[in-house]
Structure 1
Amino acid sequence: MNKTRLEAFSDGVFAIIITIMVLEIKVPHGAEWSALLPLIPVLISYILSFIYVGIYWGNHHHMLHAVKKVTPGIIWGNMFLLFVLSLIPFATAWMGENHFAQNTVIVYAVLLLLAGVSFTTLQVAIERSNPFTPALKTAFGKMRKKGYLSVISYSSAIALAYVNSAISGALFVFVAVVWLIPDRNIEQALKDQESHH
């Protein structure tokens, strides 16, 4: 399989995930502003998940730029990541509808943990099967450190949800902020690599 097919399929799945999430937001029956109030938790969980899916899409795009050879490990690592992310609309709707109740936050945190693990697994698969320049290895190393920080934060969010769901929510926002700006190191390393050829 070539890289273009892998990227096109992945982009399609990301687009479908966002579409499903927005369709979960039910239109209120009344036309008064007060009719929107019950939707606030739903909208908050939607915005959070939209940001997360956007972050994964952006970083996935950057990471695949470095791929020269697609292996079965990369294909299945990618499928595992997409599988986990495809469950995000369910967890988002459940959490929003139930006003961030403890169990819903735990399920959401578990899914984010699995997404973080699967993203790092995909990154390792890419690194193992593609020869990288020292600059690209360094760039991937920095991204992997952020991946480990995310996994630790999500694990903490699962445990802390038993104490207070708001703390878990703060951790979700913290990780999103850490990843919000896509890592330019990979892009720069690839530019340097091309200029030397």
Structure 2
Amino acid sequence: MGKGRVEAFTDGVVAIIITIMVLELKVPEGDDLSALLPQWPHFLSYVLSFVNVGIYWNNLHNMFHTVQRVNGRVLWANLNLLFWLSLMPVTTAFMGENHFAPVPVAVYGGDLILCALAYGILVVQLRRLHGPETAFGRAVGHGWKEIVSLAAYAAGIILALTVNKWIGVVIYAAMAGAWFIPDRRFEHELTRHEPEGQ
């Protein structure tokens, strides 16, 4: 089956997730700069989550541009990823409302792990459908960045609970920074096989 509808649905869900997150930001009470200070935990958690959701949207866009079709397993794997992404507004608000307390930071990290695992499941299903010798299969490669991300998120959770909550936040932000540059594997694979002059 074609991939157009799953791309459109994914775009719509991601847009709603970002909209819900921004609605959690409260209007400051007051008209001077000091009124903004109490809002910094909410804003910082929003920025972190916006970047993370944006990274998934960017990678999904590139990935679906590379594949030719989808099947039922891919649809369910994509829904699984969207489910965990849809919890991002809740975990973001939980972390911001509680000023980055250790347990909310760990819960946020748990959501990051589940999103990363769901993304991995989606990649596996797409590779199974298209095969390792297709443009998609070659572009995906071994996925070392994904494995490092999972280990980093797990470390962030443990360190936030046992050592210092800010260590977890810094690790999450560092991984977002590592993924911030769009994944070029798919783009390189597509341009490599384009006829000259296009």
The one-character-per-residue Cα deviations of 1:102-147 (angstroms, maximum 9, x if unpaired) are: 11001100000000000111011111101354664342015x2111
Q: Distance in 2 between matches of 1:77 and 1:14?
A: 15
For the residue of structure 2 that corresponds to 1:161, the secondary structure is helix
For the residue of structure 2 that corresponds to 1:166, the secondary structure is helix
The one-character-per-residue Cα deviations of 1:49-73 (angstroms, maximum 9, x if unpaired) are: 0110110100011111122121111
For the residue of structure 1 that corresponds to 2:25, the secondary structure is coil
Q: Aligned residue for 1:94?
A: 94
- Give the deviation of 1:35 after TM superposition: 1.1
Q: Aligned residue for 1:146?
A: 145
The answer on whether the counterparts of 2:109 and 2:154 sit within 8 Å (CA) in structure 1 is yes
AA of the residue aligned to 1:6: V
Alignment partner of 1:158 is 2:157:
yes
TM-score normalised by the chain length of structure 2: 0.93
The answer on whether the counterparts of 1:116 and 1:151 sit within 8 Å (CA) in structure 2 is yes
Instruction: Map 1:30-41 to 2 at 5 A.
Output: 30-41=30-41
Q: Distance in 1 between matches of 2:124 and 2:133?
A: 15
The answer on whether the counterparts of 1:3 and 1:69 sit within 8 Å (CA) in structure 2 is yes
TM-score normalised by the chain length of structure 1: 0.93
Alignment partner of 1:110 is 2:110:
yes
The one-character-per-residue Cα deviations of 1:64-85 (angstroms, maximum 9, x if unpaired) are: 1122121111101100000000
Misfit runs of 4+, over 3 Å: 131-138
The answer on whether the counterparts of 1:22 and 1:46 sit within 8 Å (CA) in structure 2 is yes
Structure 2 unaligned runs (5+)? none
For the residue of structure 1 that corresponds to 2:107, the secondary structure is helix
AA of the residue aligned to 1:145: W
> Size of the alignment, in residue pairs?
195
Alignment partner of 1:184 is 2:184:
yes
Structure 1 unaligned runs (5+)? none
Matched residues, percent identical? 47
AA of the residue aligned to 1:61: H
- Give me the CA root mean square deviation: 1.6
